[in-house]
Chains A and B, each alone.
Chain A
Amino acid sequence: MTAISQTSAVAETVDSAKLADRIKDATAAALLTVLLCVPIILLHADADIDGVLHANPRPWAVAIFALLAFFGRLAVSNAGAGVKKEARPESKIAATVRAATAKYLPPIGLVVLFVYPFVLLTLLGSGRSLKWVDSYGIQILIYVMLAWGLNIVVGLAGLLDLGYVAFYAVGAYSYALLATTFGLSFWICLPLAGILAALWGVMLGFPVLRLRGDYLAIVTLAFGEIIRSVLVNWVAFTGGGAGIASIPKITFFNLRFADEPDGFDAFFHLDYSPLHGKMFLYYVILCLALITNLVSMRLRRLPIGRAWEALREDEIACRSLGINTTNTKLTAFALGAFFGGLAGSFFSVRQGFISPESFTFIESATILAIVVLGGMGSQIGVALAAVFLIGGFELLRELDFLRAIMSSGTGVFVICLGVVVFGVIQSRKLAAQVAIVLIAAVFALRSFQLLPDAIFDKFAMPDFDPAQYRGLLFGLAMVVMMVVRPRGFISTRSPSIFLKEKKAVSGSLVKEGHG
């Protein structure tokens, strides 16, 4: 590694030797990939009509993976050399962009969020904007709120909570049960759901928060699973796996969003439109999310917020300074749970139906992925990450052309080409130019139908479904994130207060401090 980093600065002559090394490295990666792919990719266990499994071979898939590994490694081994060891100071442009983002994005974003439904209404009309308000606006904002709630626990206090979805479930079931059994309205249940979730947070947190950081993570995970298991098995109380249906919808000062004489639309002399209900829900979740944000932003400036951040950076130092670590952790935990509960009760009023299916571990992992990718502790980063991840996947789900190009084989082919080009560019200038010409030629030939379809058939993924790849990409993104930029891609948050000046050693470089 050091040899490579030294040579990168020096002459071309050494470069060829370096290239040979890198090709050797990439070949090893490709061979390893073949070894790894041998059973799990090469063979596909299909059940025939009698239910007997047969292993069907897929040699082309292995070849594609090997190709990707070879050129991917070629690209990465070079890019990583020299850059990785000594952290480069941030360039001036990047710093300006970041400062500008931090300054102007929140107010602009706020305005955009508030006018979003009305802009859609004028542009698309009420029929087509329904989907955009519902599955993009509301859906994303729920995750923004959840991620902000979890951000208090993970980002500020540094407590890894893998069972956050449990509080979400407590909130959702609180509203669903209170509303269907006692007929309480959403507006009464909303704070109740939050308080109940916070109560659970305190009850769980009190014994558990004395544990070390990674033990805490596992216990919260166990707690999440216990809650879900109880929801599934306690049929008399929760309805079991079938869930709770026909949960009352949201009301506006007792006006229902329905096509009836005393409904919202009739009262305000509007034509009935289902969009009005959705728009109201949109503003409710927007306000709830903003409250979450506001509370955590303000608390961060109070002594308790400072204590959270100190706790995140170094627990032992905190203890020696006389901070009551258990209470400090407990407040963060309970507050996070409270907002999780609010989001949960909103979720159940929006869906009208809840079941334990919605509260699996993968949901916790998704929220955690958002917080991690957004940069733990950064409010704006987390919000942007939620928009990109949740909105991106909603978008992917709808793109029919994506499905079309993936199943025709063009998609995988293009990805392969991309990786090849990237790998070659990273190794040799001249080779890169040749490769670009070649790829252009391939595209030209393909578009004039001069290349046989048989080649592309090998890259085809006939039953491609973007939704399946969601978890795959989330998981991969979390790993890449931790390896490349552990404190966040979009934005990072270092402690908000320093004694005199920020020291050269930042928290991200310090390993010690078990929490």
Chain B
Amino acid sequence: MDNFIQQLINGLTLGSVYGLIAIGYTMVYGIIGMINFAHGDVFMLSAFIALLVFLVLTQVFGITSLPVAFLIVLVLGMVLTSAWNWTIERIAYRPLRGSFRLAPLISAIGMSTFLSNFVQVAQGPRNKPVPPMFTNIIHVGGAGHDITLQYRQIVIMVVTGLLLFAFWWLVQKTALGRAQRACEQDRKMAALIGVDVDQTISITFVIGAALAAVAGAMYMMYYGVVNFSDGFLPGVKAFTAAVLGGIGSLPGAVLGGLMIGLIEVFWAAYFSSDYKDVAAFSILAITLIFMPSGILGRPEIEKV
């Protein structure tokens, strides 16, 4: 039982990270119907940005308070990663509206290859280790149980929760969110009633990148190491999460993320850690084949 609860905590932590990335996939898919293949690599890039900002803050500016440093890392990471994703959308996706149907996906695959190789060239192919952060541990359930809750796990869950709330408020209650939902339903009609569609799509990419940046910073902090190839697997798993939850649905993305995190952790704990990636990929395939609209998604109607 102790082990179960311990794995539950670990799974929820990992799932929060996946959920944050999955929102980026699901929002972009919802608004322009494109699988943003490069999103995983944007996440990886953001982890590198977080790492570099953190190094500068601690070494050059000599900030010793970890929470302050981490807060600055989060904010700067969000801003810079958003700038990246905004540029990517401008260069690689916007000119393709109205092109043939595979064009945006191929362009996104090209962008993904470009980004991971770019980071490899710019920062070198080796793993970048960072000193552990927020290492304090709370013993849950008193002395009799062997369940630990690390501070960094708490940080991840709290930050994810807060962001999701802020984000939900943004989409549900503001004019921006309304424009976004309008574009999602019918882009042409939204344009006719005065919604700036291009700008709304740009903002969608910016929001997705900002959430991915938070995920990247927390990934860097949690695992203490980043590598240029780290974008691929978390990216595909987060996409799996988005599909599992029902692509296009925001609560679905979070739910799917948590489920994928839990499945992966429990699979590794109770079966074998060798095949945990196979488990995630199989879930993706099985979901798409038998339940293409996911858990919370709407069934897709094909229009001629």
Please give the residue numbers on chain A whose beta carbons come within 8 Å of chain B beta carbons, in ascending order.
32, 35-36, 38-41, 43-47, 51-55, 154, 158, 160, 162, 207-208, 210-215, 217-219, 221-223, 225-226, 229-230, 233, 316, 361-362, 365, 368-369, 372, 468-472, 474-479, 481-483, 486-487, 507-515
Contact = CB atoms under 8 A, between A and B. Distances in A.
A69 B9 CA distance: 46
Contacts of A160: 102, 105-106
Nearest to B100: A508
Contact of A36 (B83, B123, B239, B289): B83
B23 to A, nearest CB: 17
Interface in B120-151: 120-124, 126, 128-131
Size bin of chain B's contact surface: 35 or more
Greatest chain B CB density within 10 A among A38, A41, A482 is at A482
A195 to B, nearest CB: 23
Interface of B: 34-35, 45, 48-49, 51-53, 55-56, 59-60, 80, 83-84, 87, 91-92, 95-96, 98-107, 109-124, 126, 128-131, 232, 236, 239-240, 243, 274-275, 277-278, 281-282, 284-285, 288-289, 292, 300, 302, 304
A472 B277 CA distance: 26
Given A55-B55, A219-B285, A475-B114, A483 B95 contact: yes
Task: Give me the 3 closest cross-chain CB pairs, A-B, nearest first.
Answer: A478-B110, A475-B114, A475-B113
Greatest chain A CB density within 10 A among B106, B119, B278 is at B106
Contacts of B95: 483
Nearest to A364: B109
Given A36-B87, A218-B35, A478 B288 contact: no
Given A44-B123, A160-B106, A482-B96, A229 B49 contact: no
Contacts of B275: 229, 233
Given A221-B236, A368-B109, A482 B99 contact: yes
Contacts of A508: 99-100
Contacts of A509: 100
A45 B128 contact: yes
A214 B304 contact: no
A45 B288 contact: no
Given A55-B55, A475-B114, A511-B100, 18 more contacts: A45-B128, A52-B131, A53-B129, A55-B56, A211-B289, A219-B285, A368-B109, A469-B117, A472-B113, A472-B118, A475-B117, A476-B110, A477-B110, A479-B107, A479-B110, A483-B96, A486-B103, A512-B101
B270 to A, nearest CB: 17
A214 B52 contact: no
Nearest to B290: A207
A55 B102 contact: no
A511 B101 contact: yes
Given A36-B83, A44-B123, A507 B100 contact: yes
Contacts of A361: 232
A222 B236 contact: yes
Contact of A482 (B48, B106, B285): B106
The DSSP consensus for interface residues of chain B is helix
B100 A226 contact: no
A45 B117 contact: no
Contacts of B124: 44-46
Given A36-B80, A222-B281, A479-B110, A486 B99 contact: yes
B129 A372 contact: no
B53 A229 contact: no
Contacts of A368: 106, 109
B98 A511 contact: yes
Given A469-B121, A472-B118, A478-B106, A40 B111 contact: no
A40 B48 contact: yes
Contacts of A223: 281, 285
B105 to A, nearest CB: 5
Contacts of A369: 110, 113
Given A219-B284, A482-B107, A55 B59 contact: yes
A148 B167 CA distance: 46
Nearest to A515: B101
B304 A215 contact: no
A362 B288 contact: no
A47 B55 contact: no
A218 B239 contact: yes
A222 B60 contact: no
A171 B190 CA distance: 51
Contacts of A52: 131
A132 to B, nearest CB: 28
B117 A471 contact: yes
Nearest to A225: B281
A229 B53 CA distance: 34
A453 to B, nearest CB: 24
A483 B101 contact: no
B289 A207 contact: yes
Contacts of A225: 236, 277, 281
A51 B109 contact: no
Contacts of B288: 208, 211, 215, 218-219
A316 B302 CA distance: 9
Contacts of A229: 275, 277-278, 281
A43 B55 contact: yes
B109 A55 contact: no
B102 A222 contact: no
A226 B117 CA distance: 23
A40 B123 contact: yes
B52 A39 contact: yes
Greatest chain B CB density within 10 A among A38, A40, A475, A513 is at A475
Nearest to A469: B121
Contacts of B105: 160, 213-214, 217
Greatest chain A CB density within 10 A among B34, B236, B240, B281 is at B281
A39 B278 contact: no
B46 to A, nearest CB: 10
29 contacts: A36-B83, A39-B49, A43-B55, A52-B131, A53-B128, A53-B129, A55-B52, A55-B56, A207-B289, A213-B102, A221-B236, A222-B236, A223-B281, A226-B282, A229-B275, A469-B121, A471-B113, A475-B110, A475-B113, A478-B109, A478-B110, A478-B113, A483-B107, A486-B96, A486-B103, A487-B100, A511-B98, A514-B101, A515-B101
A225 to B, nearest CB: 5
B285 A222 contact: yes
Contact of A39 (B80, B107, B111, B289): B80
A474 B112 CA distance: 11
A469 B102 CA distance: 25
Greatest chain A CB density within 10 A among B55, B102, B116, B232 is at B102
A487 B302 CA distance: 25
A409 B129 CA distance: 31
B53 A39 contact: yes
B51 A45 contact: yes
A35 B274 CA distance: 41
A40 B119 contact: yes
B302 A514 contact: yes
A158 B102 contact: yes
A472 B114 contact: yes
